[in-house]
Amino acid sequence: MWNKLNKSMMFCQMMFGLSFYGVLVSLTRFFLEDLNYNEADTMMIVGAFSAIGPLFAIAGGFIADKFLGAYRSLTISFVAFASGYVLLVLGASATNVPLSMCGIALASYGRGLMSPSYPSLYKRTFRSQEDFEKGYPINYSVNNVGAFLGQYLFPMLVLVIGFNGGFVISTVMATAALVMLIAFRKGLVGVASELDKKSVSIQNWIFFALISIAMIALVFFMFSNMDIGQNIVYAIGGAAILYFVSLMLKASKAESLKMGTILIVTFLTTCFFVYYGQMMTSMNMVAINTLKGSLFGFIPLEPEAAMAMNPLWCMVGGPIVAGLFGMLEKRDIHLSTATKIALAFVLTAIAFGILTFAVTTVGDDIVIMPEVFLVIHFFQAIAEVIVGSMVVAFILSVAPKHIENFSVSLFSVAIALSGIVGAAFSTTIALEKGQEITQEIVQHVYGDYFQLLTILAVVMVGIALAASFIIRKMLEAAKRSEAEMELVEANAES
């Protein structure tokens, strides 16, 4: 199952996790302290940075499908990451907002190219769909090794080498991934789609360059004008879904039914990642304002590094999730993807229930111990592994081959829409610049907010289970339609 090609790609995935999440965990204090932003604007910027990149996976999927192929798109994505981090180094060194915005715009563009091209190329390095489905959760854990180290180490590193030093390290890591992709070019292109094996015309390169310039300029504008930017996210996300619906209406009955199941799963994924996005926004701000002390009394932990507990558990969660569902399948218990998402919402409800209890019972010292965040992130991380690994595999299993990359990009659209929605929700608990944190604020402002999220997670369990029933019926109907078509074709030939 494992070979040099998928191992080399997992190295790139780890470098992405280290560099991207190292930058992400640094941005909150960077904007609050160095660039003097307030809490609400900072949460929107950080939420947008985690969301806008996946949004542009729509264009990334289109580029990979129609113009460049997955390998070229993935290679160019790491060029964009490295270039964006260089601009962040310059922006941090000069305390320059426009340079910093350009940096995160370029990195977001790189993530947009990477999101749909990586899984489709990674899938082709395996011998079968079954091997891919077994391997993808492990890949998810490898990504989280990088994410954990980036989120845990960078807050401590920047205390010593500054924000610009941290961004330099991210540049080196993105460059290392780029070198690895180039080193394994022959093998990766060998298993890639036909488009990657053909030369790209000058016309296509020009078209790609124009799209890229437009995308980067739009992202820069969105980061600089977040009130308008969030509406642009909604518009682009909605347009992508409408375009997918138009393709669905033109497809055969069987393909149309399968594409319909992708839309349902995309809705469930969007709802789930609203909760995931809280980790970078509301939960991160709560940690900065309340987390004190070392983990277990001896592991140093900066407050904003609390989100590193998520990839820590995700590293453990990948093999656990793969092993659990593998064991169930050996016993002939096959859970649908939507049922697995329902299980993820159960875990999310537990996580946010614990967080609600922690903030509503906080003492006069306004301190929440690191161990509480560790438990919260355990449940949420396992839920994330389920959704993050299983949904992409499901989409690839039912999507028509000619729009495979675009179909995968709907997963990224879900992340983008949920990131902006989640960030907008989070601003309801943002404090004014210089406002003192009090026990009453923690218990009532934070408490009411997380209690509402807990209740909604419970509601989503029921919705996901209902969706599971509907999806099963749609796939059964698609299978019958395919059988009827094959019979008609056989009769026509005879």
pLDDT tens for each residue of 126-175: 888 778 877 777 777 787 788 888 888 888 888 889 998 999 999 999 99
pLDDT at 342 over 70: yes
Q: What is the pLDDT of residue 455?
A: 96
Contact 313, 166 (CB under 8 A): no
Contact 226, 48 (CB under 8 A): yes
Can you give the pLDDT at residue 78? 94
Given a cut of 90, whether residue 33 has pLDDT beyond it is no
pLDDT beyond 70 at 494: no
H helix intervals, 278-369: 282-290, 309-330, 337-360
Of 212, 223, 203, 275, nearest in space to 45 by CA: 223
Mean of the per-residue pLDDT values for the chain? 86
Torsion of the alpha carbons at 429, 433, 435 and 438, rounded to the nearest 10:
40
E-strand stretches of 156-279? none
pLDDT tens for 90-101 read 998 988 888 998
* pLDDT value at residue 450: 93
What is the four-CA torsion angle of 14, 20, 26, 30, rounded to 10 degrees? 160
Q: How far is CA 65 from CA 116, 120, 487, in A?
A: 10, 10, 31
Is residue 212 predicted with pLDDT exceeding 90? no
Q: Give the pLDDT score at 65.
A: 79
For the packed helices 57-66 and 202-224, what is the interaxial angle rounded to 10 degrees? 180
Domains and CATH numbers, the chain: 4-493 (1.20.1250.20)
Q: What residues does 368 pair with on adjacent strands? A: 291
Among the ranges given (58-62, 111-115, 150-154, 285-289), the one the predictor scored with the smallest mean pLDDT: 58-62
For 280, phi and psi rounded to 5 degrees? Answer: -85, -15
Q: Which two tokens stand for residue 371?
A: 């161990």
Confidence band for 332, pLDDT divided at 50, 70 and 90 = confident
- Per-residue confidence at 88, pLDDT binned at 50, 70, 90? very high
**pLDDT band per the 50, 70, 90 thresholds, residue 350:** very high
293-326 pLDDT per residue, tens: 888 888 888 888 888 888 788 777 777 777 777 7
pLDDT band at 442 (very low <50, low <70, confident <90, very high): confident
- Predicted structure pTM score: 0.75
Residue 128, helix vs strand vs coil: coil
Phi then psi for residue 295, to 5 deg, are -70, 125
| Helix pair angle (202-224, 97-124), 10° resolution | 130
> Residue 384 has which token pair?
């994330």
Q: Would you say how long the chain is, in residues?
A: 494
Q: pLDDT class for 493, splitting at 50, 70, 90?
A: low
- Bigger pLDDT: 16 vs 234: 16
Which two tokens mark 311?
Answer: 């990839």
426 pLDDT tier (thresholds 50, 70, 90): confident
3-state secondary structure of 368: strand
Q: What is the pLDDT of residues 244-267, one digit of tens each?
A: 889 888 888 888 888 889 999 999
